[in-house]
């Protein structure tokens, strides 16, 4: 009888250990590009789950994606759409992407180089 109880307890422990990654795993946030508001909310949720360094990488990626195809500072000033480089402007490009995918996309497709100096 004792061996049966130990076997049952061991079985429950094994089941619990197998389920733990699923139970405690954080949901991977993807950009909801269905509207500007939805994109902004999903971006905020995504950003809040990142480390400060990764949050900075994501912000720089967003800037780089917003600047794809821009060839000069004058273009930025002359184009009213570029005065507000938020997620709403690029939501179609990054819809469904995770933070890692956004950063990779920016690195692969950006037409500008962005450098961050930290002190």
Q: What is the dihedral of CA 57, 62, 68, 73, to 10 degrees?
A: -90
For the chain, the straight-line distance linking the first and the last C-alpha, in angstroms and rounded, comes to 66
The DSSP call for residue 29 is P
Calculate the alpha carbon distances from 111 to 37, 39, 71, 96, 106 in Å: 27, 23, 8, 22, 9
CA atoms within 13 A on the CB side of 101: 12
DSSP state of 23: H
Tokens coding 96: 């469904």
pLDDT tens per residue across all 119 residues of the chain:
576 667 676 666 767 666 655 455 568 899 999 999 999 999 999 999 999 999 999 999 999 998 888 888 888 788 877 777 788 889 999 999 999 999 999 999 987 776 667 66
Distant-in-sequence, close-in-space partners of 30: CB < 8 Å, separation ≥ 6: 42, 46, 96, 97, 98
């Amino acid at each position: 009888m004792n061996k049966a109880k130990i076997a049952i307890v061991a079985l429950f422990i094994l089941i619990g250990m197998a389920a733990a990654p699923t139970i405690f795993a954080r949901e991977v946030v993807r950009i909801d590009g269905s509207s500007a508001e939805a994109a902004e909310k999903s971006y905020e949720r995504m950003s809040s789950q990142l480390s400060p360094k990764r949050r900075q990488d994501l912000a720089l990626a967003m800037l780089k994606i917003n600047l794809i195809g821009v060839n000069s500072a004058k273009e930025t000033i002359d184009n009213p759409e570029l005065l507000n480089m938020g997620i709403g402007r690029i939501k179609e490009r990054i819809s469904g992407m995770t933070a890692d995918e956004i950063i990779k996309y920016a690195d692969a497709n950006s037409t500008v180089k962005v450098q961050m100096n930290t002190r």
